[in-house]
Chains A and B, each alone.
Chain A
Amino acid sequence: MPHSIKTSNLSVTLNGAQLVQPTTLSVNSGEAVGIIGLNGAGKSTLMKAIIGLIPHQGFSNISSQSFEDRARLSAWVPQTREIVWDVSVETLLGFTLRNFRYQNESNVNLSDKINFSIKDALLATNTSKLSNRNIGSLSGGELTSVLIARALVQQTSTIFLDEPLASLDPVQKISVLSLIQELSKTGITIIASLHDVEIAQSYFTRFLGIKAGKVVADGSPNRLLSKKHFKEIFLC
């Protein structure tokens, strides 16, 4: 199975402190990987280093590419959901699509291509009815789904999600997790940092446990939530 993500001794150091220790890992295409650990363990930092959003040492097959090529390989769904300008959902998705040039699509009108891809993404995330709504009017769960739709519009093989379940109620969490699972089944690789490990365990194929910047456990959710590994990841 081809690797979607491959890192070799990937680490992050800031002001002399090592936030992520040298990490070598690979993720196959189509896997749904949950990164679990305490606050400040390095979950988000590891993901940002893999994509190249922060300075790092070592190798990642994504961050070693140019800006443009990285954007074609991976999409990012942030934890911070503050969108200052009250644009519509369709406009927000359009910003992403307009950024990519369609060099071989000279026979297709660009605005047709934009509408086609946005419609697909909204359909896949069950957010078609939100297309003309303004971002400010969306609930937490709706906004998360819209941001995942935005990531889909980027048409990448991998989507990284930073705390996708943060500030959501239980129903919204299940909705987002179901969406993530559906996307994973279509072959998209999903990497998500998580706090809600119990609720999320049945939606992911693999968990990575991080403690103090180091991957201390790697395996199925059932295995990592066993007493032994749970202590390793979450207790001092």
Chain B
Amino acid sequence: MPLDPRKLSSFILILLAIGSYASLQIGHVKIDLFAALISPLYGEATPDAIILWDLRMPRTLMCLIVGFGLGIAGAGLQGFLRNPLAEPSVVGISSAAALGAVLSIGLGFSALGLYYTPAFSLGFAAIASWALIKLTSKAASKHSVILIGVGISSLSGAFTTLILSLSENPFAINEIVFWMLGSVTDVSYHHVLMSAPLVMLGSFFLLRAANGLDLLTLGEETATSIGANIPKLRRDILVGTALTVGSITSVVGIVGFVGLVTPHIVRPFVRHEPGKTLIWTPPIAALLVLISDITIRLLPTASEIKLGVLTALLGTPFFLYLVSKQRN
């Protein structure tokens, strides 16, 4: 059931605006949103303004960035690997990125400058992406792609836990939980500025691949015979995925299944075309992450559930459903 692109984009923008408004409004403390929005104009630092501008605004922006980046990376990976089960956390790229970030912090590089941790993170994400693509290049089955990804994920997770366990940091266990489960709870504009440019750059590389992903529907040989430049396509996917996933993971930890679920929601509306799925997934994924984060704030728990926990709780049954659907 394809929809008119203009109507679809207007509808999505409206939903994003509503979601962002809700994210700024909803929290443990009730605030006067309008007053808080305009108070900086009067030079006032009211409690409502501090809550809005220092806590909820960066958190909302971070949700949008996380959703956008993980959504486009997921759609790109699914299109390139021609595997509807692929997404950064399932195939180990997120775990490798987390390992990179932990190494940067553990070795002290993070204290040297703003971009050391994202650089380590995206470097390790790039290595994992390259390893995945290399190991699956010889017509591996869908399930073997996932198995290889599980291997990369397990190895990265094991090293991450080892590094944190050996660290002198008395809060090492908390750190492990943070990196493994993903959270936007305490983000600041610093984190937004660290990740946003890299997510934009990564998205540029991934969007360049849209036409190539359509051609890949026919298989690599046919795509090549039509004139697709597969090595260039591979580079764009690898660089784009590393930049988006690496930068996001370096600031919020591992947030899984966003990139898995969202393309499946989008596909029926774009006639299953991989190129259009790549274009429309990011805003929908951003909306889903916003909704997830709002849900976390509304849940009556003693402390906030991590974003990565909620996405895993919702995403894992969906993943299992996809696996069983494929086997049938």
| In the assembled complex, B8 has its CB within 8 A of some CB on chain A | no
Bitwise interface map of B from 201 to 236 toward A, beta carbon under 8 Å scored 1, else 0: 000000000010011011101101111110000000
Q: Known interface pairs A85-B274, A91-B273, A99-B211. Does A68 touch B82 (Cβ–Cβ under 8 Å)?
A: no
With A and B bound together, what is the CA distance between A85 and B272 in angstroms?
6
What class of interface size applies to chain A in its complex with B? 20 to 34
Give the residues in chain B near A86, CB-CB below 8 Å.
272
| In the assembled complex, B292 has its CB within 8 A of some CB on chain A | no
Contacts of A72-96 to chain B: CB distance below 8 A = 74-78, 80, 82-88, 91-92, 95-96
**Are B271 and A78 neighbours in the complex by a CB distance under 8 Å?**
no
Residue of B215, B217, B226 ringed by the most chain A CB atoms within 10 A:
B226
With A and B bound together, what is the CA distance between A227 and B166 in angstroms?
75
Q: Known interface pairs A70-B227, A80-B219, A99-B226. Does A88 touch B271 (Cβ–Cβ under 8 Å)?
A: yes
With A and B bound together, what is the CA distance between A88 and B1 in angstroms?
12
What class of interface size applies to chain B in its complex with A? 20 to 34
Of all chain B residues, the one with the shortest Cβ separation from A88 is B271
Give the residues in chain A near B227, CB-CB below 8 Å.
67-68, 70-71, 99-100
| In the assembled complex, B316 has its CB within 8 A of some CB on chain A | no
The residues of A with any CB-CB pair to B shorter than 8 Å are 48, 51, 53, 67-68, 70-71, 74-78, 80, 82-88, 91-92, 95-96, 98-100, 134, 150, 154, 160
Q: Known interface pairs A48-B221, A78-B219, A91-B271. Does A154 touch B226 (Cβ–Cβ under 8 Å)?
A: yes
Q: Which of B83, B139, B217 contacts A83 (CB 8 A)?
A: B217
Give the residues in chain B near A85, CB-CB below 8 Å.
82, 217, 267, 272-274
The residues of B with any CB-CB pair to A shorter than 8 Å are 82-84, 139, 211, 214-215, 217-219, 221-222, 224-229, 267, 271-274
Give the residues in chain A near B214, CB-CB below 8 Å.
95, 98
**Are A84 and B211 neighbours in the complex by a CB distance under 8 Å?**
no
Of all chain A residues, the one with the shortest Cβ separation from B268 is A86
**Are A87 and B273 neighbours in the complex by a CB distance under 8 Å?**
yes
With A and B bound together, what is the CA distance between A203 and B175 in angstroms?
70
With A and B bound together, what is the CA distance between A95 and B215 in angstroms?
6
**Are A71 and B274 neighbours in the complex by a CB distance under 8 Å?**
no
Give the residues in chain B near A150, CB-CB below 8 Å.
218, 222
With A and B bound together, what is the CA distance between A82 and B139 in angstroms?
11
**Are A82 and B273 neighbours in the complex by a CB distance under 8 Å?**
no
With A and B bound together, what is the CA distance between A82 and B140 in angstroms?
13
Of all chain A residues, the one with the shortest Cβ separation from B267 is A85
Give the residues in chain A near B139, CB-CB below 8 Å.
80
Question: Closest approach, in angstroms, between the C-beta of B289 and any C-beta of chain A?
Answer: 25
**Are B226 and A96 neighbours in the complex by a CB distance under 8 Å?**
yes
Q: Which of A74, A82, A92, A98 contacts B225 (CB 8 A)?
A: A74
A-B contact pairs, 22 of them (CB 8 A): A48-B221, A67-B228, A70-B225, A71-B227, A74-B225, A76-B221, A76-B222, A78-B218, A84-B82, A84-B83, A85-B272, A85-B274, A86-B272, A87-B271, A87-B273, A88-B271, A91-B271, A91-B273, A95-B214, A96-B215, A96-B226, A150-B218
Give the residues in chain A near B84, CB-CB below 8 Å.
84
**Are B222 and A78 neighbours in the complex by a CB distance under 8 Å?**
yes
With A and B bound together, what is the CA distance between A88 and B2 in angstroms?
12
Question: Closest approach, in angstroms, between the C-beta of A114 and any C-beta of chain B?
Answer: 13
Give the residues in chain A near B273, CB-CB below 8 Å.
85, 87, 91, 95
Of all chain A residues, the one with the shortest Cβ separation from B139 is A80
**Are A76 and B271 neighbours in the complex by a CB distance under 8 Å?**
no
Give the residues in chain A near B224, CB-CB below 8 Å.
53, 67
Q: A95-B217, A100-B227 are in contact. List 5 more A-B contacts (CB 8 A).
A: A80-B219, A84-B83, A95-B218, A96-B226, A154-B226
Question: Closest approach, in angstroms, between the C-beta of B235 and any C-beta of chain A?
Answer: 15
Of all chain A residues, the one with the shortest Cβ separation from B211 is A99
With A and B bound together, what is the CA distance between A85 and B226 in angstroms?
18
With A and B bound together, what is the CA distance between A99 and B275 in angstroms?
12
Give the residues in chain B near A83, CB-CB below 8 Å.
217-219
With A and B bound together, what is the CA distance between A95 and B218 in angstroms?
9
Give the residues in chain A near B271, CB-CB below 8 Å.
87-88, 91
**Are B221 and A53 neighbours in the complex by a CB distance under 8 Å?**
yes
**Are A87 and B217 neighbours in the complex by a CB distance under 8 Å?**
yes
Question: Closest approach, in angstroms, between the C-beta of B172 and any C-beta of chain A?
Answer: 42
Give the residues in chain B near A76, CB-CB below 8 Å.
221-222, 225
Q: Known interface pairs A87-B273, A99-B215. Does A78 touch B226 (Cβ–Cβ under 8 Å)?
A: no
Of all chain B residues, the one with the shortest Cβ separation from A51 is B225
> Which 6 pairs of residues, A with B, have the shortest CB-CB distance?
A71-B227, A76-B225, A85-B272, A84-B82, A95-B214, A87-B272
Residue of B82, B272, B274 ringed by the most chain A CB atoms within 10 A:
B272
